[in-house]
Amino acid sequence: MGILNRKKTAAPPPPPPKPPEPLALIATGVCTLAGTGDYAAQGAVQLKLNGAKPNPALALAVPDQGAPPVLTAALDEELLPLDTPVPERLVFLLAHALLALAKQLDRRYLTADTRLQVLLPSAASARGHAVKPQALKASVLQHAPAFAACDWHFSRDADGGVNALQQCLDGDWQQLIFVGVDSLIDAGTVLDFAYDNRAMRAGATQGIVPGEAAGAVALTRTPGAQPVRAWLRGWASEAEPAVGQAETERLPGLRTAIKTALQQADIAVTDVQAVSHGLGAEIAGDLEWYQTHVAFWRGQRGPKQQRLHIAFGDVGVAALPLQLALIAAEYDSQRGLARYDFPHPARCWCATPPTRRYAAPFA
């Protein structure tokens, strides 16, 4: 009689997750303080041109300081008066971004097979509550009728642009127009920031500057003959329960999302040469970026930073599509310089900080 002693072995580790299918970015359209040119908008960010200015209609009393006006980054008042309601502002911004996109995009992409996903401010917010998606669509199509045949969808949750993009990817489509439009300069939104002591006032050194913008990018799985301006090879999002508490807490959400997206894109952290992000309007954002820098580039200079908020303020849900459009413009610029022996285009990633979730898509 024998005794069989079977040694227990650990279960094999699960296989690594399959990387997402790369997406080709083939066209962009923007509407910002710098106009409807993506190169002009990218130049404003690169040069750190500050679009903030005092809004005379919005002033709050501050102890020992009187009532300094709140700074906003609104479009030129001759184009769009400050008292224009939010729904009309969004129509203006979105229509001009789509018209700019149409100039770059082959009309064969403007069919029912193309999904047009529009990110709108949350319906729970003061500004978002006033926006009716179907009415917005009808008004925009009066100015940009070429997009009437597209399959329109709207996203109004607060989970961030990457989650909205991921939901789109689960569908059966070949072309996607990914759009974000937002305006935070209405009195309700600005006063919410001000009452929380987060708004930038005249004479202050930190604070959120409410802004407005629209960004649109055309993505496809099958670019064909259309020139590819950039590739999206990985994206990820992570919840951050301690957002805004970098002074006392470790914030792992952004770092985890970056690590995941880098792995998907098969890019080493040392190869990242440029980063576009929206952190830094407040001290908490600077501290969070410091935590991220130390985690990935301790003792090193780290990648070049492009801070969207310096030029355009906080643009809400428009941030991610706008950042992708500006990265494509940066790639175009670097490719143009490469013929003169300048460095080839850098690998960029961009991080957007919505309310409670951080996201890091890589291009």
C-beta separation of 73 from 52 below 8 A: yes
**14: DSSP letter:** P
CB neighbours of residue 132 within 10 Å: 13
Confidence of residue 134 (pLDDT cuts 50, 70, 90): very high
Lowest mean pLDDT, pick from 88-92, 98-102, 133-137, 253-257: 253-257
Lookup: tokens for 200: 């930038």
Q: What is the CATH number of domain 230-359?
A: 3.40.47.10
List strands edge to edge, sheet with 114-119: 151-155, 114-119, 175-183, 212-220, 23-31, 230-232
- pLDDT for 322 equals 94
In total, the chain counts a number of residues equal to: 363
- pLDDT for 252 equals 87
- pLDDT for 362 equals 56
CA–CA gap between residue 173 and residue 345 (Å, rounded): 29
Going from N- to C-terminal start, the domains of the chain cover: 23-220, 230-359
| Residue 299 Cα to chain centre, angstroms | 28
Q: Is the pLDDT of residue 355 over 60?
A: no
Residues with Cβ within 8 Å of 26's Cβ and at least 6 positions away in sequence, in order, are: 104, 105, 109, 218, 219, 220, 223, 226, 227, 228, 229
Lowest mean pLDDT, pick from 33-47, 226-240, 292-306, 339-353: 339-353
Lowest mean pLDDT, pick from 15-29, 84-98, 178-192: 15-29
Closest CA to 93 of 211, 195, 13: 211
Query: Which residue blocks in the chain are alpha helix, DSSP H?
Result: 38-46, 86-104, 126-129, 133-143, 161-169, 187-195, 253-265, 283-297, 308-312, 319-338
Lowest mean pLDDT, pick from 24-38, 154-168, 206-220: 154-168
Average the pLDDT over 62-67 and give the result.
64
Q: Is the pLDDT of residue 346 over 80?
A: no
Higher pLDDT, residue 190 or 216: 216
Task: Please determine whether the domains at 23-220 and 230-359 fall in the same fold group of CATH.
Answer: yes
Higher pLDDT, residue 253 or 218: 218
Q: pLDDT tens digits for 219-250?
A: 998 888 788 999 998 888 888 878 778 788 88
CA–CA gap between residue 30 and residue 81 (Å, rounded): 20
C-beta separation of 161 from 357 below 8 A: no
Confidence of residue 251 (pLDDT cuts 50, 70, 90): confident
CB neighbours of residue 299 within 10 Å: 6
CA–CA gap between residue 55 and residue 83 (Å, rounded): 11
% pLDDT > 70, the chain: 86
Average the pLDDT over 203-229 and give the result.
89
CA–CA gap between residue 36 and residue 187 (Å, rounded): 25
CATH class of 23-220: alpha beta
- pTM of the model as a whole: 0.89
Higher pLDDT, residue 88 or 60: 88
Q: Is the pLDDT of residue 2 over 50?
A: no
